[in-house]
């Protein structure tokens, strides 16, 4: 699942790096559960490739009933003025029934939280540059 946000990819990447650095290891609560980020990587597996993600983080989504799924969060360019935040399963195997349920239940709330955090973070950066 993904969401397009109204931020150029450079601004979104700066906000993504700041947000993931601050959030790493913490439990971030959403209405339906929580997200925990445990690993952050920069850029694509194919450096210089325009279609690859510019930033990645890995973690876990968990429901209120403690079902969980390993996830990957990606930030990619959508256009010159917009970026895409994606959330997908991480790992080598297809998730089981419980993990798929956790992902489908918590994922939409997590995407909305990330999009709001990146938009707010980019606004703070822009305000600092303007001052």
Q: Is 52 within 8 Å of 76 (Cβ atoms)? A: yes
Residues 35 and 111: their CA atoms lie apart, in Å, by: 10
What are the helix (H) ranges across the chain?
9-23, 97-130
For 47-71, write each residue's pLDDT tens digit. 555 667 888 999 999 998 889 999 9
Give me the phi and psi of 112, to 5 degrees please: -65, -40
- Tens digits of residue pLDDT in 11-43: 999 999 999 989 888 899 999 999 999 988 876
pTM: 0.84
pLDDT of residue 103: 92
* Helices 9-23, 97-130: inter-axial angle, 10-degree rounding: 110
Which domains does the chain possess?
2-130 (3.30.310)
* Residue 73 parent element (H or E): strand 68-77
pLDDT in tens, 63-114: 988 899 999 999 998 888 999 999 999 987 888 888 899 999 999 999 999 9
Backbone angles phi, psi at 35, to 5 degrees: -130, 140
């Amino acid at each position: 699942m993904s969401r397009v946000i109204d931020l150029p990819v450079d601004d979104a990447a700066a906000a993504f790096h700041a947000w993931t650095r601050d959030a790493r290891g913490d439990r971030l609560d959403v209405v339906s559960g929580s997200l925990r980020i445990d690993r952050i990587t920069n850029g694509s597996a194919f450096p210089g490739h325009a279609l690859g993600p510019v930033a990645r983080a890995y973690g876990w989504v968990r429901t209120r009933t403690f079902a969980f799924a390993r996830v990957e969060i990606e930030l990619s360019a959508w256009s010159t003025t917009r970026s895409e935040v994606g959330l997908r399963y991480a790992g080598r195997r297809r998730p089981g029934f419980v993990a798929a349920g956790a992902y489908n239940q918590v994922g939409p709330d997590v995407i909305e939280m990330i999009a709001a955090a990146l938009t707010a973070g980019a606004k703070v950066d822009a305000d600092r540059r303007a001052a």
